[in-house]
Amino acid sequence: MKICVAGAAGAFGTKHLDALAQIDGAEVACVVGAPGDGIEAVAAKRGIARACTDLAEALASDIDAVILATPTPLHARQAMACLKAGKHVLVEIPMADNLADSIELVRVQRQSNKIAMAGHVRRFNPSHQWIHNRIQSGELTLQQLDVQTYFFRRTNMNALGKPRSWTDHLLWHHACHTVDLFQYQTGGQATRAYGLQGPAHPDLGIAMDMSIGMQSASGALCTLSLSFNNDGPLGTYFRYICDNGTYLARYDDLYDGYDTQIDLTGVALSSNGIELIDREFIAAIREGREPNASVAQCLPAMETLDQIERSFS
């Protein structure tokens, strides 16, 4: 299967290249990057045959699928371009930065009869899979999901410490992970959702702090705190408060409420969530089926994000 990775010079593009190298039968035939990204050097280092700075050029070539690890504002437009060119597409989270574009992407996917998947990695992390499997079997019932997503980003820099050409967003990017995860774990769209946001940054124009609350049809709660102002341990930490135990997910590790680590051996083929996403994408193409985290399955998260955004005013 010939795959193109767009945004391959960036932090997440690199993670996808590393992941694809672990998957039998997956060939990275092309990489795409913005001018000045050094995309030719990326291709040369990894022995990739083709490098270009125009996605349209890649779409005109002999590839089967595209993985988009490009800036968020480009996601929806580029994903639709891939589908219209007859290519399967995996778009990094979020699929769009607004509800209207998300709806249109789902419409284009259905019309194209190609696979379109969103990179909702929390569905695939073994720690969250372990919880999901036990919720599905009836061993656990979620009472509250408490989540902290903390960064220190008072300047417009990316995960590699380089200047960004676009501005990241706590709601449409970082909250998207938890909104989708909560609805995935509870089995339906939140019946209530609201948010509060702090003052906008004078230069970036975005809220640097945010608080979100949700409730499922079963009554389970989600409490989410997000910040770009946090000067301390960075990342996202999840506390699952259940009827039969409390569990803490830290990246790919899982602990019980007394900080005893839980053995996740056998939960998934890999402990790397990005690799598991890529494996699902490729398997769905080969098997001709809808993948877990298809854009249609992830649309309810975008609807809830829109509801939260409207609650700010």
pLDDT in tens, 235-273: 999 999 999 999 999 878 999 999 999 999 999 999 999
The domain tally of the chain equals 2
pLDDT in tens, 24-50: 999 999 999 999 889 999 999 999 999
- On whether both 184 and 261 belong to a single domain, the answer is yes
User: At 227, is the secondary structure helix, strand, or coil?
Assistant: strand
Phi-psi region of 162 (alpha: psi -120 to 50; beta: other; left: phi over 0): beta
Q: What is the pLDDT of residue 307?
A: 98
Q: Output the 3-class SS for 97-111.
A: CCHHHHHHHHHHHHH
pLDDT in tens, 167-177: 889 999 999 99
| Cα–Cα dist 253/46, whole Å | 30
Average pLDDT over all residues of the chain = 95
305 domain residue, yes or no? no
- On whether both 45 and 134 belong to a single domain, the answer is no
Return the bridge partners of 114, or none.
Answer: none
pLDDT in tens, 135-162: 999 999 999 999 999 999 888 777 667 7
Q: Strand 235-242 vs strand 142-150: parallel, antiparallel, or unpaired?
A: antiparallel
- On whether both 204 and 133 belong to a single domain, the answer is yes
Give the domain range for residue 111: 2-120+274-289
| Cα–Cα dist 268/266, whole Å | 5
| Cα–Cα dist 101/97, whole Å | 8
242 domain residue, yes or no? yes
Written as six digits, the tokens of 3 are 């795959």
